[in-house]
Structure 1
Amino acid sequence: MRAKVSELVVDCADPAALVRFWAELLGGAPVDRSPGWSYVEPPGFVRLAFQQVPEGKAAKNRLHLDLEAGPVGAAADAAERLGAVRVGGLVTDEQGEFQVMRDPEGNEFCFVD
């Protein structure tokens, strides 16, 4: 058997708010399916869904998205205007550069170049 990814689901406190952040960041229209479930279908990417859970985020994500969005600094600036927060400084190595970010609920993601 070979499975196919149909969507990525993020546990969160406020799906309706978080889907709007990610829709602005990735493109696509936010959809509120119910008070506890929202999603966006970004162009060229699998559906990203947000599910309300009672507990808060307690530790670093075990899975995160690496996003290419042009110059890393400009992408981080734009994400901050939407409510993201930088984590540490810009990292440059032999592979390029990346900036760790957190979305409005603290979920980590990176801009990479």
Structure 2
Amino acid sequence: MIGSIDEVVVDCQNPAALADFWALILGGTPVHRSADWSYVDPPRWTRLAFQRVPEVKQVKNRLHLDVLVKDVAQAADEAVALGAVKVGALHSDGPGTFQVLLDPEGNEWCVVRPNT
């Protein structure tokens, strides 16, 4: 083993706004260290940090977060009320149910509920 995850960092245009959004989704208190760097420490997970970059997001994420919820449809609606955008329909199959969403800067993520 080389090391362990210290934090997950998201490049963005508005670090404070994304830290505020993700704190509402995952819990924790957003910390705005500077205009270029904010983060949130969600309960039971690693730090999620946001750093300002000059370019805007242009393509689909190569990595995304799956947020475990009790009710996918309800969680997706609550996320939309906080500024997320639904992408496509609710998906349900053998492994479980999920809804793809975009955060306020267009980063893809999902609310998920596995079938157990």
Same fold (TM over 0.5): yes
Report the alpha carbon displacement of residue 2 of structure 1 after superposing the two structures with TM: 2.3
The match for 1:57 is: 57
Matches within 5 A, 1:18-97: 18-97=18-97
Instruction: Tell me how far apart the structure 2 counterparts of residues 34 and 96 of structure 1 sit (CA, whole Å).
Output: 40
> What residue is the counterpart of 1:5 in the other structure?
5
Match of 2:104 in 1: 104
Q: CA RMSD, aligned part only? A: 0.6
Question: Deviation at 1:70?
Answer: 1.1
Structure 1 CA distance for aligned equivalents of residues 97 and 26 of structure 2: 20
Identity of aligned residues (%): 59
Structure 1 runs of 4+ aligned residues shifted over 4 Å read none
SS at match of 2:98: strand
Q: CA deviation at 1:97?
A: 0.7
Q: Structure 2 unaligned runs (5+)?
A: none
Corresponding pairs, count:
113
Name structure 1 gaps, 5 residues minimum: none
Distance across 1 between alignment mates of 2:38 and 2:10: 10
Per the normalisation by structure 1, the TM-score is 0.98
TM-score (norm: length of structure 2): 0.95
